[in-house]
Amino acid sequence: MKKTVFITGASSGFGRETVKLFHQKGWNVIATMRSPENETELFELNDVLVGRLDVTDKDSIKSAVEQGMAKFGRIDVLVNNAGYGALGAMEAATEEQVKQQFDVNFFGLIAVTKAVLPVMRQQKSGVIINVSSVGGRVTFPFASLYHASKFAVEGLTESMQYELNPLGIRMKIVEPGGYKTEFSGRSMTLIGADGPEVYKEVFNKFIAMLEHWPMSENIGEVADVIYGAATDGTETLRYPVGPDALQLVEARRQMDDVEFKKMMTAQTAL
């Protein structure tokens, strides 16, 4: 029987690449995005249903799940990929900016998961893959809100295993390092324009440093790992991906808090 994957944030980056990979592998794909009116290419693919879904809009989630079920009749894998990064000093963030970071990266992921779980429970099978980040394991300067949202995703996912494994549903966390997607462009919000002066000089230095941070162009690598997590049939929970992610996770394992902070301060030249 042909399997079906449901993907959020399919307009660009990892989400889009993952749609194409599952399609190539012969799966049905429910490719969801906020603005399907801007999409052309994915509409051309057989057995790819392009649906409108904003993770902060519960009606759009319900309707995308219903449309997917009406067309394919099942959802074997959910890839919670939609997300963005708010960068800047925590004190400088408005309440709205803090809330928005969590509304998308955390509460949005929960809302989509809750909409898909009844389908998987009825099937007595399923895999839920949450796209976190190496930033769900280690922290960089000036990204506290983003890290908080991804650490929350990690804790949520790890604990949900206990309630869902007995129902035949597996949980997976994919943790990419730095990749050249829209993430460092339109999916990055800089906070603090009206915040305290004291942070500005060092934040600007940090942003200048980020512009030279090595970002991999091999987005397909992340899609491959997502596909692997969906199909490997193992109990593995975490899938760091990319040389920088593997290196940072290993460094965090070996170093204590003080050593790790020293290393990160030196690497980011702050």
Rounded Cα–Cα distance for residues 4 and 151 (Å): 28
Of 12, 67, 123, 189, the one binding ligand NAP by CB under 6 A: 12
**Within 13 Å, how many C-alpha atoms sit on residue 208's CB side?**
8
Which of 103, 87, 97 lies closest to 143 in space, CA to CA?
A: 87
Of 75, 78, 89, 104, the one binding ligand NAP by CB under 6 A: 104
In the bound state with ligand NAP, the residue whose beta carbon lies nearer, of 35 and 258, is 35
Rounded Cα–Cα distance for residues 135 and 158 (Å): 16
Which span (78-86, 159-167, 197-205, 228-236) binds ligand NAP, by CB under 6 A? Answer: 78-86
- Contacts with ligand NAP in 173-192 (CB under 6 A)? 176, 178-179, 181-183, 187
* Type of residue found at 268: T
Of 75, 82, 89, 226, the one binding ligand NAP by CB under 6 A: 82
In the bound state with ligand NAP, the residue whose beta carbon lies nearer, of 192 and 242, is 242
What is the torsion angle, in degrees rounded to the nearest 10, for the CA atoms of residue 251, residue 256, residue 259 and residue 261?
A: 80
**Within 13 Å, how many C-alpha atoms sit on residue 245's CB side?**
21
Of 3, 6, 11, 61, the one binding ligand NAP by CB under 6 A: 11
Q: How far is CA 193 from CA 84, 101, 197, in A?
A: 18, 17, 9
In the bound state with ligand NAP, the residue whose beta carbon lies nearer, of 2 and 213, is 213
Q: How far is CA 92 from CA 6, 30, 68, 96, 193, in A?
A: 36, 38, 41, 11, 8
72 binds ligand NAP (CB under 6 A): no
> C-beta of 107: minimal distance to ligand NAP in Å?
10
141 binds ligand NAP (CB under 6 A): no
13 binds ligand NAP (CB under 6 A): yes
Residues that bind ligand NAP (CB under 6 A): 8-9, 11-15, 33-35, 54-56, 81-84, 104, 108, 131, 133, 176, 178-179, 181-183, 187
